[in-house]
Every structure is written in C-alpha cells, then in structure tokens.
C-alpha cells in the first residue's frame, strides 16, 4: 500500500475500492420514469450527494489518507480547498485518528468553515488568492511535516474518485453513456479509467459554458487554464490537473457545455422529479443530458449536495 506514481491500473482501482469500502457509502442510484420521458433516455443517477461529507470527495480523500497512513503518523495531512475536498480530508483523517490542516481563504462561506470544523479539521486562513493558498499550505507542511494531498491532481485521489463509477457499473454494467461534471478533473478522470477497465460506455465530460477551460483544452489538445469562471457551479471553477488531463484525453469522447440557465433549470427539475437536493455542480451533468438526448442507458454522476439551503438558484 504505497502512493501511486502513475496512472492507476484495473488492479489499483479494485484495491482502492476494497480499501475504502468500510468507510464510505455505496450510494443509492435514483431513476424517474417521468425524467426519462422528458430526456428521451433511460437515466440512472448515482447519488454522491448522499456520500459521507455530502460529496464524492470523501472517496479520494479516504484513499489518500489510508495510502499515506504510515508516513503521516503523528504528522497528519494538509490541503488547500475552499470546497468539498477540505471537509472530506478532515473527515478522512479523523477516521484514522490523524490531524488535517485545511488552508481556506479568509472569505470562505461560513457553511464550508463549519463543515471542516465539524469533522475536526484545523483551519488555517489565508488571503483569497491561489498563490497565498499554496504558500500557506507549504508553510504548514514545512512546520508540521504534514502530508500534502492535492484536491484532484493526485493518482490516489483519482483512484478513489473512480470507485463511484465502479459501483455504478457494478449495478448497471451495460451503460451506453456516462455523464460526468468536470472541474479539476478528479471525478472525470477516475470515471474514465473505471469505465475503460470495467465498462463500455461513451464517457462525456460536462462543463459550464462560463468555465469552459476543460472543453478548450480537450478540443485544442493543449492545456488551457481557466481564466474566468462566473458560474453557479462553484465546484467546477478550477483548471484541469496535469495528471487528470492526459487520462481525459485518452478515455473521454467529448465535453458538452451547458449555460447557467440550463444548469439552473436542471437543478429545479432534479428537485421536482427526483426530490433530491444537489449542488449546482451536480446539475451540470443533468443539464447536459436534458440538452442532448442520449438514446440508451445513461449514467449521471450527481457529484455532491453541499450548498446553502437559503441560496436557491432562481429561474
């Protein structure tokens, strides 16, 4: 059980699922006859909003923490995250009795701060720039010896996120399409690998038009950073990771873009039909499905459900 240095193999993924299974939920899969009638396809929604910590991030974080358990002993972990990865790492570290230092921007939403605290994470605030976040994380690492776990640009994280798709394929091995939201690419690269080894679906990344860096990188064949990201899908505002991009290039068919209006409409439709409260990032895959009818069995990863219950996206 050593950290992965290269793209996870089928055996790596099997070992990962076995390793983290005692800690995570095999989340339920939802479907709706009336959703299918409207979408013109046969959809299966993997409910990672019901995962521990409210997002698929618990999978990768738990895997990374277990893989580094020996070398992290007594020193703990560190990451920078304003989103779900911080809470997930705090939760994962607490499961094995280790500390987690979470570097967060000083303007992080109260709900995110409370989530990290509720799992016992030690918050280090910094000014809200990427440079300050990386610098602060580096300082914590040097001071404490904590192991740094990147939110997505990390093969152990990618292997962990792949397990969501492994579970879905275990239940529905004959999926024809698999729709996955893409931000940093942790979930999408994991899904693409899992499908390459254990499935036969066409894997499609789903991204907001307003943060279309993955779409541009994918279509041009060269990595492009996100420059503006004015989208309600706050989990998808990051650029693709260097480890994630090549996997996506090899195993993903296309990246579909959806507008803010389409994301909002899909979010409301999931509430109305599935009665599930997901975060806007999770509605991006749903929006893509409603936009482009897939004729056949379609899996959609609902990546998370962490959002302020008072901030409804209005139509």
Q: Decide: 109 and 116 in contact? Cβ < 8 Å.
A: no
Q: How many CB atoms lie within 10 A of CB 309?
A: 7
Q: Which is nearer to its own copies, 114 or 170 (CB)?
A: 114
By C-alpha distance, which of 215, 201, 221 is closest to 258? 215
Q: Which of 25, 38, 251, 268 binds its own copies (CB under 8 A)?
A: 268
Segment 229-258, which members bind its own copies (CB under 8 A)? none
Q: Which of 41, 81, 82, 281 is catalytic?
A: 82
* Cβ burial 88-115 (10 Å sphere, 16+ → b, else e): bbbbbbbbbebbbbbbbbeebbeebbeb
**Which is nearest to 24 in space by CA: 55, 68, 69?**
55
User: Does residue 90 touch its own copies according to CB under 8 A?
Assistant: no
CB atoms within 10 A of CB 225: 10
Active site residue 176: no
Q: How far apart are CA 45 and CA 9, in angstroms?
A: 26
Residue 210 DSSP label: G
Which of 143, 219, 242, 312 is close enough to bind its own copies by CB under 8 A?
A: 312
57 vs 235: CA distance, rounded Å: 11
Q: Pick the stretch among 56-64, 241-249, 251-259, 307-315 that binds its own copies (CB under 8 A).
A: 307-315
Min separation Cβ 268 and its own copies, Å: 5
How many C-beta atoms lie closer than 10 Å to residue 170's C-beta? 12
Is 82 one of the catalytic residues? yes
Beta pairing, strands 29-30 & 254-258: unpaired
Selected from 118, 127, 228, 295, the binder of its own copies by CB under 8 A is 118
Q: Which of 46, 52, 57, 141 is catalytic?
A: 57
**Does residue 28 interact with its own copies by CB under 8 A?**
yes
Sequence-separated (6 or more) residues with CB below 8 Å from residue 9: 197
- In the list 34, 40, 130, 254, the residue contacting its own copies (rule: CB under 8 A) is 34
User: Measured from the CB atom, is 201 or 302 closer to its own copies?
Assistant: 302
Pick from 276, 291, 292, 297: which binds its own copies (CB under 8 A)? 276
Given the complex with its own copies, which of 21 and 29 has the nearer CB atom?
A: 29
Q: Smallest distance, Å, CB 4 to its own copies?
A: 30
Distance CA 280, CA 287 (A): 10
Q: Which of 6, 106, 220, 309 lies at the binding interface for its own copies (CB under 8 A)?
A: 309
Give yes or no for residue 314 binding its own copies (CB under 8 A): yes
Pick the closer one to its own copies by CB: 77 or 91: 91
Per CB under 8 A, does 315 bind its own copies?
yes
Antiparallel, parallel or unpaired: β 122-126 and 100-105:
parallel
Q: Does 70 bind its own copies (CB under 8 A)?
A: no
Tokens of 231: 């989208």
Eight-state DSSP code of residue 185: S
Number of Cα atoms under 13 Å in the Cβ half of residue 303: 36
Considering the complex, state which of residue 91 and residue 177 has its C-beta at the smaller distance from its own copies: 91
Active site residues: 57, 82
Question: Interface with its own copies by CB under 8 A: which residues?
Answer: 28, 34, 49-50, 54, 118, 268, 271-272, 275-278, 305, 309-310, 312, 314-315
């Amino acid at each position: 059980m050593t950290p992965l240095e290269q793209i996870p193999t089928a055996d790596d993924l099997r070992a990962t699922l076995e390793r983290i299974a005692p800690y995570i939920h095999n989340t339920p899969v939802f479907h709706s006859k009336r959703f299918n009638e409207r979408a013109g396809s046969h959809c299966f929604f993997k409910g990672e909003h019901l995962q521990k910590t409210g997002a698929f991030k618990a999978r990768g974080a738990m895997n990374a923490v277990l893989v580094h358990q020996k070398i992290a002993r007594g020193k703990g972990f560190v990451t920078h995250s304003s989103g779900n990865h911080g809470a997930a790492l705090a939760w994962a570290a607490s499961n094995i009795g280790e500390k987690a230092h979470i570097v967060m921007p000083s303007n992080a939403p109260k709900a995110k701060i409370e989530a990290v605290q509720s799992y016992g994470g030690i918050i280090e605030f910094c000014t809200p720039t990427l440079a300050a976040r990386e610098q602060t994380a580096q300082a914590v690492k040097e001071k404490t010896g904590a192991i740094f776990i990147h939110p997505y640009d990390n093969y152990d994280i990618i292997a962990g996120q792949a397990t969501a798709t492994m579970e879905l394929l275990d239940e529905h091995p004959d999926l024809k399409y698999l729709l996955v939201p893409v931000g940093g690419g942790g979930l999408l690269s994991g899904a693409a690998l899992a499908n390459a080894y254990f499935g036969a679906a066409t894997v499609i990344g789903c991204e907001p038009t307003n943060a279309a860096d993955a779409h541009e990188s994918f279509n041009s064949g060269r990595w492009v950073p996100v420059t503006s990201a004015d989208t309600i899908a706050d989990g998808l505002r990051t650029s693709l990771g260097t480890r994630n991009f090549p996997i996506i290039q090899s195993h993903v068919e296309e990246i579909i873009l959806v507008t803010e209006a389409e994301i909002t409409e899909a979010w409301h439709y999931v509430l109305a039909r599935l009665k599930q409260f997901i975060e806007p990032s999770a509605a991006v895959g749903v929006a893509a499905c409603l936009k482009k009818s897939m004729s056949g069995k379609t899996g959609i990863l609902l990546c998370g459900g962490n959002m302020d219950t008072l901030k409804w996206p209005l139509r």
